[in-house]
Structure formats: C-alpha cells, structure tokens
Amino acid sequence: MPARRTTVRDVVVIGGGLAGLTAARSLGSRDVLVLEADDRLGGRIRSDDRAPYWLNYGAHLFGGPASPVGSLIDSCGIETLPVEGSFTAMAFPRRLVTGGGPTTILRTAPLPLRARIAFVRSGLKILWHSREYQRFTTSLKNRPPSEVNRALHAFMDDRTFAELLGPLPRELDHIYRAIANRAQADPEELSAGAAMSALALVLTKDRALGRNVAGGSGRIIEALAGQLTCSVTTKAEVSSVAADHGGVTVAYVDGDGPQQVRAHHAIVTTPPHVTARLVQGLPKDTAGALRSIQFGPSIVMAMLTRERRPMPWDGLYSAVVPGKSFNMFFNQANVLRSRERSRRAGGSLMVYASGPLGRGLMDRSNADIRDLFLRDLYDIFPELIGLVEEVDLQCWEYATSYAHSGRAALQSALDRDLGRISLAGDYLGAWFADSAVLTGREAAAKVERQLAEHGSRSDRDRQRSTESWAGDP
Ligand SMILES: Cc1cc2nc3c(=O)[nH]c(=O)nc-3n(C[C@H](O)[C@H](O)[C@H](O)COP(=O)(O)OP(=O)(O)OC[C@H]3O[C@@H](n4cnc5c(N)ncnc54)[C@H](O)[C@@H]3O)c2cc1C
C-alpha cells in the first residue's frame, strides 16, 4: 500500500485531567493533540452547576494564589472563596463537636477517660510532628518540584501512622482510622509522613488548602479547556505509547475504531498502573515503581438540600465521621454563608467513604449506598430528614494515591528521564491537585526545551514522516 501523506504532531498529551490540560495549555504555541478516554474532560475534578449552589464529586479544596493550582485558577479568571468554617469538626451519633480544634474535641467528645488520656498523648505527638512537617515544607520553598517531591516523600517514611500512634483504645482507634481513611489507607498502611501531611492541612493556621471554587471546581476545567488552542479528542482510549528513534507512536481507539498518531513527544498523565501498561519499553524499575503506587477508592455522594432556616452544619466546612458508612462530611455551601446578608434557602453537602471503608462498599449498588449514607447522615443530623432533594453518586476506584512506608524509595525510578516520553500526574508528588499542575507544567517545559533544541532536526523528521508514515487520522 502506498504511504499516505500525514502530519506529525509536536506533542500528544494522554489524559485530559488537570495535569494533561495544564501541560497542553503550557504548550500553547505547539501542535498538540489531547486524547482523553472519558466522554468529559477533568478526570478527578468534577462538579455540576446548580446555581446558586453546585454538586461536587471530586477535588474541592485548593491553595491560595501562591500555590500552583491557585495561580492557575487566578490566571483563568475564576473566583475562589476562602473557607471560613471549621475544618476540625467531628460527628458522633447525635453529637457534633465543632469550633475550637483538638482541645474542644477533647473537652466535649463523648469519650471515656482512658480514651481522653490516650487522645492527649497521641494529640501532642501529632501536633508536634505536623508543625515539624509544616516547617519542613517551608524550608523547601523555591526548590525544584522534583527535589521537593523526593524530600516530602522521605519525611517520616520509615514508619507507619499506626507505629507513630502506638496502641489505642477502641474509641480512639475509630477516630484515627476515619482520619487515615481520608488519606486513603488504614493507619497500619499509611506512612507517618503522609498522615502528618494530611493533618497539617487542618491543624496548622497557615492552611495549604483553604479555598473552594465558587460555582464548583468543574469551572477550572471549563476555563482551561476554553483556553486551549490545540485539538482535543474525548472518548479516545489510548492503548499503547511507543517511542523509537524518530518519535512516538500512540495507538488509541475512538468512535471510528482503532487509530494511530505520530508525534515528536508524548506526555502521559494517566494513573500510574495505566501508564505502566501503555508505555512500551519502560525501564524495569520505572514500570515497577508505577505499579507500586498505592491508590484508594472514594465513593462520593453529593446532595442538594432545600432547608429554609439555619442548620447545625452552617458554620462548618468539614467533619470527620468515625464509625459510620462514610468517614467524611463536607458542607460545600459553607463558603457562601459569610457573604450572605441573610441565609439563603437550600444548600449543598457531600459525604464520602474513602480508603478501606470505600473499598468495602465497591460491590454494592448505587441505590444501596445512597440508602446507607442517608441513614447514617440522618442519624448525625436528624434536621436533614425530608430536606434532601437531589442525590448523585460518583465512584472513584482510583481516587487518590497515598504514601505507604517506603514510598520514597520509588521516586528516583519515577523521575527517570524517558527521552521522548514524559510522565505527569498527581501521583508523582505529595500535593494532589498542586502536584498535577506542577508535573504538567514541568513535563511541558521539558518538551518545549527539547523541541527548541532539536527544532531543525524535528522539522526534517516532520518532512520525512509526512512523506513516509501512514496511519495518522
Ligand atoms: C473525592 C476526591 C476529592 C479530592 N479532593 C481534593 C482536594 O480537595 N484538593 C486537591 O488538591 N486534590 C483533591 N483530589 C485529588 C485531585 O482530584 C487530583 O489530584 C487531580 O485531579 C489529579 O489530576 P491528574 O490529571 O493527575 O489525574 P486525573 O484527573 O485522574 O486525569 C487522568 C486522566 O486520564 C484519563 N485516562 C485514563 N486512562 C486513559 C487512557 N487509556 N487513554 C486516555 N485517557 C485516559 C482519565 O480519564 C483522566 O481524565 C481529590 C480527588 C478525589 C477523587
């Protein structure tokens, strides 16, 4: 068959989540194709507008203007709102403990004396180490992202959260398990450093994640996608990414069947276990490291409510929920309350079961999970009965990665230079959406450097490939 004339893209970006879209936007002047398997962009950032509220299913807390996501959000002209409500509430059946942080919990939580004593002992340890974590992260400011990732993963990586806490009475074990499950693992699996990172977010005054997007986080994705000048194809599932001397061949399946595209570079932003399968010829240690990244699931239930009066959750943003079918409760509408002259009717809530708790529910039907979550929610907040008017569930099998003890040893294999293929995605770092943005930007900058350096050769390749390579759509 005679070779069909075809073009060679500068870059193919695989995955249209935050990392992929950030990379594509940074490569604005290049010929880029984004391939996304799903029928929507955004990956684990998803919300549905229900003005004046929104339903949220994924990421919802972001840093201020100095943070990677914060600066991205600002550059897109999106409004963020500071979270004014409590982050440290704890919901026991028929008792909501909120207001003043760990000391209030200690004073008012329904815990027996031995659990209170253990709470003080473990609480002091946590406060000390989470402040140490905070100081450590401050000392890393202005260092290159890859160095920061390595340093953060090495922080208290030699022991688990359970080892740090020591033996606990049952009532306290429930609480710490719910907290660790928020970071996707049981205390026996989670590294002590990862637990400190999660706890520092709520315990330290200078909160790294303290802003919510007015109208829902999906607005970040809409704005990013709206600014892209490149081609974007959804419902395009990539099955292989193979580099050779002259470029990269990406095979995928879209609505028209199997396709192939050729490019000078590829940026792969898929979850690590998918990346290990897609990228051909990976060094053994890199493939092994990708497969060793641990993820936990989250089953998220987003709700719109129709109350016409103030509610007990108005002043809080999040609550840990020990011993129930879900471990976290969020009041998305909290960010609107401080701006209202009088409380607007209605609201938006979100609960989720994450880590081992979520995994235990994965086989249940959506209707079952909804009933279970609502029953437990009504147990904590009887005022909510009859007020839930819309419910939607989102099951994330791979919600967020967590650092197990020993995770730091994987980083050098993940940071390895793979030539024409670059990896990006939150799992490479320790700061969730911030890591997605940072690694997306870093991958784009590396590709940009390579394209600039080999520009003339690339142009020759492009010319040669245009004449001889068949298969580009
Ligand atoms: C419930 C929940 C709450 C969260 N809360 C927060 C928070 O408050 N703050 C925060 O900072 N972070 C939070 N996160 C994490 C945050 O959402 C992620 O860090 C971020 O969205 C990751 O972006 P990404 O681009 O790295 O990955 P993803 O968003 O997962 O993007 C990867 C993309 O690749 C696509 N893909 C997969 N396989 C293929 C294939 N074969 N071919 C083509 N495309 C493919 C996927 O469909 C997806 O769109 C939360 C996550 C969840 C689930």
Distance CA 436, CA 68 (A): 9
Q: From the CA of 88, how far away is ligand 1's center (Å)?
A: 25
- Give the per-residue pLDDT at 111: 85
Q: Which residue has the higher pLDDT, 5 or 115?
A: 115
Tens-digit pLDDT profile for residues 408-428:
999 999 999 999 999 999 999
Cα separations (Å) of 15 from 1, 35, 36, 309? Answer: 32, 6, 5, 43
Quote the pTM value: 0.93
Q: From the CA of 369, how far away is ligand 1's center (Å)?
A: 23
Q: Looking at this protein, which amino acid is placed at residue 345?
A: A
Taking the CB of residue 280, how many other CB atoms lie within 10 A of it? 14
Neighbouring-strand partners of residue 349: 303, 331
CB distance 209 to 183 below 8 Å: no
Cα separations (Å) of 410 from 77, 316, 403, 428? Answer: 37, 38, 10, 10
Prior bond to 52 cis, omega within 30?
Answer: yes
Around ligand 1, the residues with Cβ closer than 6 Å are 14-20, 35-38, 43-45, 58-62, 209, 237-238, 269-271, 274, 298, 300, 352, 396, 399-400, 425-426, 432-434, 436
CB distance 352 to 326 below 8 Å: yes
- Give the per-residue pLDDT at 101: 67
Q: Domains for the chain: give ranges and CATH numbers.
A: 9-45+217-293+411-468 (3.50.50.60), 100-206 (no CATH), 295-401 (3.90.660.10)
Two tokens at 305?
């409510």
Distance CA 413, CA 239 (A): 23
SS3 10: strand
Tens-digit pLDDT profile for residues 126-185:
989 988 998 999 899 888 888 888 899 999 999 999 999 999 999 889 889 989 999 999
Q: Give mean pLDDT, residues 444-467.
A: 68
Half-sphere exposure at residue 461, Cβ-oriented, CA atoms within 13 angstroms: 18
Q: Give the CA radius of gyration of the chain.
A: 23
| Residues in CB range of 449: below 8 A, 6 or more apart | none
281 Rama sector, left if φ>0, alpha if ψ -120 to 50, beta otherwise: left
SS3 318: strand
Q: Whose CA is nearest to atom 21 of ligand 1?
A: 44
What is the best residue among 239, 295, 431, 432 to mutate for testing ligand 1's pocket, by most ligand atoms within 8 Å of CB? 432
pLDDT at 402 over 70: yes
Across the chain, what does the average pLDDT equal?
91
Instruction: Show the DSSP H helices in 309-393 as ranges.
Output: 334-337, 356-359, 366-380
Q: Whose CA is nearest to atom 6 of ligand 1?
A: 59
Q: From the CA of 421, how far away is ligand 1's center (Å)?
A: 20
CB distance 61 to 262 below 8 Å: no
Q: Give mean pLDDT, residues 263-271.
A: 98
- Give the per-residue pLDDT at 457: 42
pLDDT at 456 over 50: no
Spell out where 51-193 has E strands.
53-56, 80-82, 89-92, 95-97
DSSP 203: H
Tens-digit pLDDT profile for residues 326-377:
999 999 999 999 888 899 999 999 999 999 999 999 999 999 999 999 999 9
Q: From the CA of 45, how far away is ligand 1's center (Å)?
A: 6
The CA-based angle 447-11-7, given to 5 degrees, is 135
Neighbouring-strand partners of residue 50: 53
Two tokens at 403?
């650092």
State phi, psi for 332 to the nearest 5 degrees.
-60, -30
Distance CA 249, CA 231 (A): 17
CB distance 36 to 183 below 8 Å: no
pLDDT at 472 over 70: no
Tens-digit pLDDT profile for residues 212-249:
998 999 999 999 999 999 999 999 999 999 999 899 99
Q: From the CA of 44, how far away is ligand 1's center (Å)?
A: 3
Q: Which residue has the higher pLDDT, 432 or 205?
A: 432
pLDDT at 202 over 90: no
The atom of ligand 1 lying closest to the CA of 19 is: 25
Tens-digit pLDDT profile for residues 296-328:
999 999 999 999 999 999 999 999 999 999 999
Distance CA 77, CA 220 (A): 9
Half-sphere exposure at residue 346, Cβ-oriented, CA atoms within 13 angstroms: 12
Which residue do the tokens 């995994």 mark?
359
pLDDT at 255 over 60: yes
Q: From the CA of 401, how far away is ligand 1's center (Å)?
A: 10
CB distance 348 to 56 below 8 Å: yes
pLDDT at 446 over 70: yes
Q: From the CA of 446, how far away is ligand 1's center (Å)?
A: 22
Report the b/e string of 59-80 with b at 16+ CB within 10 A. bbbbbbeebbbbebbeebebeb
Residue 315, Cβ density class (10 Å: 0-12 exposed, 13-18 middle, ≥19 buried): middle
CB distance 346 to 304 below 8 Å: yes
Cα separations (Å) of 87 from 81, 199, 316, 451? Answer: 15, 11, 7, 45
Q: Tell me, rounded to whole angstroms, the distance of Cα 332 from its chain centroid.
A: 17
- Give the per-residue pLDDT at 198: 86
Q: Whose CA is nearest to atom 39 of ligand 1?
A: 37
Report the b/e string of 17-29 with b at 16+ CB within 10 A. bbbbbbbbbbbee
The atom of ligand 1 lying closest to the CA of 435 is: 19
Distance CA 152, CA 133 (A): 9
What is the best residue among 35, 44, 274 to mutate for testing ligand 1's pocket, by most ligand atoms within 8 Å of CB? 44
Q: From the CA of 296, how far away is ligand 1's center (Å)?
A: 13
Q: From the CA of 278, how far away is ligand 1's center (Å)?
A: 17
- Give the per-residue pLDDT at 6: 56
- Give the per-residue pLDDT at 206: 57
- Give the per-residue pLDDT at 458: 44
Two tokens at 65?
């203007």
| Residues in CB range of 58: below 8 A, 6 or more apart | 42, 43, 44, 45, 46, 47, 217, 300, 394, 396
Distance CA 44, CA 212 (A): 15
The atom of ligand 1 lying closest to the CA of 432 is: 19
What percent of the chain has a predicted confidence (pLDDT) above 90?
74
CB distance 399 to 298 below 8 Å: yes
